[in-house]
Copies of this chain bind each other. A is one copy, B any other.
């Protein structure tokens, strides 16, 4: 008899779709001991949330997240709303004894993030932050190779997250471009993913120096129309209060040199989330747009035969890949969420928590805060450990 875990989700846009899908598909692909039940979805507009519930297969809906949290038939609160709401909802959910899943970045500020982490610890509930890119099989495999010592001492971690969806000056002032809602721009939205990959693979960041830039400072008022596209109202404009791009240099605790860049102004790069890591015995390269592949260089390979191998991480031996299709039959973006939730749900009632949690969220937020501080001071900033 399988344990059921009843999910209540707040929000239902891009991330809501990704999460809903992952809950639905998880038991299809994996033999899980804990099965998610899509119990209730929550949003302020009744008509929209009702439609979303039907489309995505939720049993019921709410229009007030406090009511959702109050429901006794909910075990997990999943927060996929804009960033400025994470803390309040999460803390309330923790007080209500619910396990919590939240999108990244954890919060608007480091302080908020710490409060959230305190709350989940105090109330002893499970907590997950959705750094889904860790869960591409190729990235999980990279982690395994590093842990097995294949690279040896790490010298370099370099990451870029390049997008271009807001390059047009006509693209509207969506919530992701307002500091009071999003906290930051490219930094927290996509840079946070690169930071998580860096922490996951190369370890903690000790100190950094960074900068950020807003290329287009005013935009027409407008809204997201789903996904990452949007429509504009040209009759009025507003100020962009977050970064369009950012970059920082850092030292990892292990002595590695890190370089990070995140931008929404790199034309032609729709979603190029890539990293390279160089160690004394080898190197790894990965790029989300080709997420099934991992490039591996091994210095021990015979002279003459040295070169990056392009490994299609779709074989049974590659983490999570065996649950899907035969070798060479690729998976996509959504599967990173299925794997992430698998890790959370299997770990929740056991003593093997290898998923990213609010502690990771706090550490990530500390890096984001350090970049903001460095941008202001112009100097190196130590990241609190």
Contacts and interface: CB of A to CB of B under 8 A. Distances in A.
Contact of A228 (B210, B326, B333): B326
A134 interface: no
Given A156-B245, A309-B308, A267 B325 contact: no
A132 B259 CA distance: 27
Interface in A242-275: 245, 247-249, 251, 255, 257, 259, 261, 263, 265-272
Closest 3 CB pairs of A and B: A271-B328, A270-B328, A268-B297
Interface size class of A (residues with CB under 8 A): 35 or more
A229 interface: yes
Given A271-B327, A304-B141, A332-B330, A209 B266 contact: no
Contacts of A271: 326-329
A301 to B, nearest CB: 8
Given A155-B215, A290-B290, A316 B229 contact: yes
A158 interface: yes
A70 interface: no
A327 B267 contact: no
| Copies of this chain, tallied across the complex | 4
A259 B56 CA distance: 42
Interface of A: 14, 18, 20-21, 24-25, 27-28, 31, 55-57, 141, 155-156, 158, 160, 163-165, 167, 209-211, 213, 215, 227-229, 245, 247-249, 251, 255, 257, 259, 261, 263, 265-272, 276, 278-283, 288-292, 296-299, 301, 303-312, 314-318, 324-335, 378-380
A288 B314 CA distance: 13
A37 to B, nearest CB: 14
Given A14-B326, A325-B334, 12 more contacts: A155-B263, A213-B257, A227-B316, A249-B249, A267-B279, A268-B299, A270-B312, A270-B314, A271-B329, A290-B330, A329-B333, A330-B333
A297 B267 contact: yes
A267 B278 contact: yes
A307 to B, nearest CB: 4
